[in-house]
Amino acid sequence: MKRLDGAIDFAKLLLAGGLATNPVTSAPTIDDLRAVAKRRLPRVAFDIVDGAADAEATAASNLADLREVLFEPRSLVDVSRPSTRTDAVGIPLEQPFVLGPCGLMRMLGHGGEKAAVRAAGDAGVPYTISSAANWSMEEIAAEATGPLWFQLYMYKGEGIVRDLVTRAKRIGAELLMVTVDLPVNGKRPRDHRNGMTIPPKVTRSNFLSAARHPSWLLSLVSGPPIGFRNLADIDLGGSRLSHQEYVNTKLINPSLTWDDLELVRQLWDGPLVIKGITTPADARLARRAGADGVIVSNHGGRQLDSTPSSIAALPRVVDAVAGDMSVGFDGGIRGGGDVVKALALGADYTLLGRAWAYGLAAGGGAGVRRAIDIVDSEVRQTLSLLGCPDVRDLDRSFVTYPARWHGQGRVVTEPRVSVDAVIEASQRGAGAPLDAEGQESR
Ligand SMILES: Cc1cc2nc3c(=O)[nH]c(=O)nc-3n(C[C@H](O)[C@H](O)[C@H](O)COP(=O)(O)O)c2cc1C
């Protein structure tokens, strides 16, 4: 009998400890979710998320530079009740992170954005709908149970911008995020090699890998054809271009300037932030254009390669504008420790990008939820180990980081603002012109 009891106890231990584990819901880190995603997706889909621009140098340094921020822990501080509450542009947040905008999510299977927005709602984390989502903002909003933000690409034509902003208001988005680091699409070599298109096409280079993932293929063909459904009403005019080529060549607007933000500011009276800022001068221009905040971001290294990592760009932007406007951060966050580092360097809140997309690819909504829970628990644990019980108390005294991120040891020349811009600004009475430092000169 004793032996039987022992065997039962042993079986219980096995079940509790590992045998019955689900690799998604028991994944200990975001890297583990990434590994599951890599196994479960064909290369053409995994590389959409994992890949970046050109040599992927910026994407790599986003990750590497976060490791250059080292903690300075404090001992014997009461951390029995860590608080993660903060706010973004006046919007209260329970956790210091939101799900940032990622388009093309149906390419990862599991219903894409719809599964992700449900998981975000369950966790009470805001979900940012991308202009380039594979479901329309109305379709995503119909699944949402939590707060929504909307990310705007100012596509060519006032009509499209008006339409997107008006619809974002109608679905109840509480914040508008205008992404400005996409004057043209970055070159992503992995996508070229894999023959990645929207709608997807079977090519010699992706056929075998896709065929080995029948459940992914099935999820791709269930539902409407994959496209940019926020723009579904746009008549391609008998164009023989794919939807993706059409958006890239006909809709992305390379002639945008700061003045074009005036229209958006008129249309949207709620919180408005500019995403894709990496320099103090641009941050000041964003403030002058009427934005309430900026997001320090290099688009996860998917646009201009060989720019500084996001975390290296953060301190100078914070020093330039943090007293006047909210500063968000993304780029390379793969855990709660990274969130805490960005907040210590001066960000008010952070955005997850690939971290949640790997979760989606690994296990649909359950994977997104797991990604959120991993980051949340790691934020709390890091705060406790650091001896900082409240995220709002984080500051640079909790970390050390390379002095060169303030420009030391590098030649840093602020841009001269063009004469046209100065004349235009003074004609509009939009404030004093900026000097070479990007400061207002009177
Ligand atoms: C697959 C994918 C799609 C993305 N789509 C958008 C988008 O539509 N709009 C946008 O502003 N940023 C987009 N981004 C960039 C993210 O919002 C974010 O800036 C970036 O992923 C942060 O870097 P990280 O993923 O390394 O954390 C996308 C990123 C990925 C990986």
pLDDT above 60 for 350: yes
Residue type for position 86? T
Query: Is residue 301 domain-shared with residue 433, that is, in the same domain?
Result: no
| Gap from CA of 354 to ligand 1 centroid (Å) | 7
Query: Is residue 419 domain-shared with residue 303, that is, in the same domain?
Result: no
Is residue 14 in some structural domain? Answer: no
Please state the atom number of ligand 1 nearest to the C-alpha of residue 354.
Answer: 25
pLDDT at 442: 41
Per the listing, tokens 């109840």 go with: 172
Token digits of residue 54: 């050109």
Query: Is residue 439 domain-shared with residue 363, that is, in the same domain?
Result: no
Query: Is residue 273 domain-shared with residue 325, that is, in the same domain?
Result: yes
Query: Is residue 301 domain-shared with residue 440, that is, in the same domain?
Result: no
Token digits of residue 100: 């940032």
Sign of CA dihedral 142, 145, 151, 154: positive
Cα 416 versus chain centre, distance: 30
Is residue 9 in some structural domain? Answer: no
As annotated, the active-site residues are 299
- Buried b / exposed e over 198-229, threshold 16 CB at 10 Å, is bebeeeeebeebbeebeebbebbeeeeebbbb
What is the total count of domains within the chain? 2
Is residue 23 in some structural domain? Answer: no
User: Mapping DSSP to helix (H, G, I), strand (E, B) and coil, where does residue 329 land?
Assistant: strand
pLDDT above 70 for 398: yes
Mean pLDDT computed over every residue of the chain: 91
**pLDDT tens digits, residue range 138-173?**
999 999 999 999 999 999 999 999 999 999 999 999
pLDDT above 90 for 241: no
Is residue 196 in some structural domain? Answer: no
pLDDT at 436: 42
Query: Is residue 152 domain-shared with residue 291, that is, in the same domain?
Result: yes
Q: What is the CATH number of the domain that holds 381?
A: 3.20.20.70
Among 273, 294, 302, the mutation site with the greatest number of ligand 1 atoms within 8 A of its Cβ is 302
| Gap from CA of 191 to ligand 1 centroid (Å) | 15
Query: Is residue 366 domain-shared with residue 419, that is, in the same domain?
Result: no
Query: Is residue 137 domain-shared with residue 163, that is, in the same domain?
Result: yes
Q: How confident is the model at residue 7 (pLDDT cuts 50, 70, 90)?
A: confident
pLDDT above 60 for 426: no
CA distance 230 to 249: 17
CA distance 402 to 187: 30
Residues 164-184 have a mean pLDDT of 97
Query: Is residue 441 domain-shared with residue 313, that is, in the same domain?
Result: no
Is residue 337 in some structural domain? Answer: yes
Query: Is residue 295 domain-shared with residue 277, that is, in the same domain?
Result: yes
Is residue 16 in some structural domain? Answer: no
Spell out which residues line ligand 1, taking CB within 6 angstroms. 48-49, 62, 100-104, 130, 132, 151, 179, 275, 297, 299-300, 302, 330-333, 353-355, 357
pTM of the model: 0.91
Token digits of residue 119: 């998981």
Paired with 274 in beta bridges are 178, 294
Query: Is residue 142 domain-shared with residue 107, that is, in the same domain?
Result: yes
Please state the atom number of ligand 1 nearest to the C-alpha of residue 131.
Answer: 8
Paired with 113 in beta bridges are none
Residues 278-288 have a mean pLDDT of 96
Is residue 117 in some structural domain? Answer: yes
Residues 350-357 have a mean pLDDT of 98
Residues 249-257 have a mean pLDDT of 92
In sequence order, what E strands does 72-196 have? 86-88, 91-93, 97-99, 127-129, 148-152, 176-179
pLDDT at 138: 98
Compute φ and ψ for 87, nearest 5 degrees.
Answer: -150, 160
Is residue 216 in some structural domain? Answer: no
Domain of 380, in residue numbers:
30-190+248-406
Query: Is residue 42 domain-shared with residue 141, that is, in the same domain?
Result: yes
